[in-house]
Amino acid sequence: MHNLSISELNQLVSIDTFNSSSLFAISIIDLSTYELVYANETMKLILADVNAKNCWKAKYDLDSPCMWCKAQELIMISNRNANQHLSNDNNSYATYEHFNEIANKWYQIQVKLSTLENGNQYLISFALDISMQKEAQSQLINSHVQLQQKTVSLEKARQQLKKLANQDPLTNLYNRRYFQDISQKLVNIAKRDGSDLTVIMLDIDKFKNINDSYGHSTGDEVIINLANLLIEKTRESDIVARFGGEEFAVLLPSTDKEGAYKTADTIREVVEKQVLKVDKNISIQYTISLGVDYYDITTDNKIDDALNRADKALYQAKNSGRNRVAINC
């Protein structure tokens, strides 16, 4: 490869090369005075004041040096390298991006510190309009943000649908479907660990009379009230579900029949003692009946076996006068 001499290179590439049709906006600043001593035609098109002396006034219509100016930084590096007898070849450049409010455009700017033989220092600036790239980048970011937002919205919608599929709409308790799903997991744990697992079946005594006497909206208030009491009087690890109408079920992991009976009787007593004020004209007292049984890990195949026995105990409680707890024997 033929190497060009400096004189040959100067013939091919000179400052005039970049003067008329260059994509680069070029300026030269005398660092002893910060006077703008040269601007090519592209730079002149974006200058705030072509006739201004100081570079900050000419370029950006400012009254003092630009906060983002790299001149002093490059001078300090140059002086330090000179003191240490190091070359400035790799340290006399700085590149950054800047939004020019006068031109309303983004520029990528490279500045170079050059020192003449007489010691005068000049800052040569090359600015390339990157507004289109910035706009494309901004659109890409916006698209990404919108996609993220849609993804989050879809996930929220999915979670909401999942919640609705597992939740009773009136009481916000779990529904029978979720109860069946989670009970199988708890059955597997009980079988693996040999731990206790009990169930409580319950419903509201003479609920039809409440609906007939006060209306279905009041009946709904009673159901919601009972649901809240069940959550309040059970543990976080217990599964409380509305099976439908006035019928509820509670699944109690790591709880034997005696413990389940105590929980059931506590709930029964709280319900019996409370007075539910529906509105200023209606106050209701109601009772519940409950049946208790346990899941037998040696003989039961699924939770329905224990639920059926607990349901039989529930009807024993009702046939014995209601407002009581019965254990299937």
pLDDT digits (tens, 9 = 90+) for 49-94: 888 888 888 888 888 888 888 888 888 887 787 777 666 555 577 8
pLDDT at residue 306, rounded to an integer: 93
pLDDT digits (tens, 9 = 90+) for 189-209: 888 899 999 999 999 999 999
Helices (H), 215-256: 216-232
Please report the sign of the dihedral spanned by the C-alpha atoms of residue 174, residue 175, residue 178, residue 179. positive
pLDDT averaged over every residue in the chain: 85
207 within 8 A of 246, measured Cβ to Cβ: yes
210 within 8 A of 204, measured Cβ to Cβ: yes
Q: Which residue has the tokens 């046939």?
A: 319
For 79, other C-beta atoms within 10 Å of its C-beta total: 11
Reported as a pLDDT band with limits 50, 70 and 90, residue 256 is very high
pLDDT at residue 51, rounded to an integer: 86
pLDDT at residue 219, rounded to an integer: 92
Beta strands in the chain (DSSP E): 24-30, 35-39, 93-100, 105-115, 121-129, 174-175, 197-204, 239-244, 247-253, 276-279, 282-284, 288-294, 325-327
CA atoms within 13 Å, Cβ hemisphere of 250: 29
Residue 323, Ramachandran bin (φ over 0: left; ψ between -120 and 50: alpha; else beta): left
Give CA angle at 310 (307, 315), nearest 5°: 125
Residue 289 in 3-state DSSP?
A: strand
Give me the mean pLDDT over the 200-223 stretch: 92
Instruction: Give strand pairing partners of 124.
Output: 28, 112
From the candidates 236, 246, 258, 272, give the one annotated as an active-site residue. 246
Domains of the chain: 6-135 (3.30.450.20), 166-327 (3.30.70.270)
pTM of the model: 0.55
Closest CA to 31 of 62, 7, 65: 65
73 is catalytic: no
Report residue 260 as tokens. Answer: 């389940």
pLDDT at residue 31, rounded to an integer: 87
Q: How far is 41 from 26, CA to CA, in rounded Å?
A: 8
Reported as a pLDDT band with limits 50, 70 and 90, residue 1 is very low
pLDDT digits (tens, 9 = 90+) for 271-329: 999 999 988 888 899 999 999 999 998 899 889 999 999 999 999 999 999 999 999 76
Residue 187 in this model has a pLDDT that exceeds 70? yes
Length of the chain equals 329
Q: How far, in Å, are 80, 83, 150, 166, 236 from residue 74 at the CA level?
A: 10, 14, 47, 66, 65
Q: Which residue has the tokens 């109690």?
A: 252
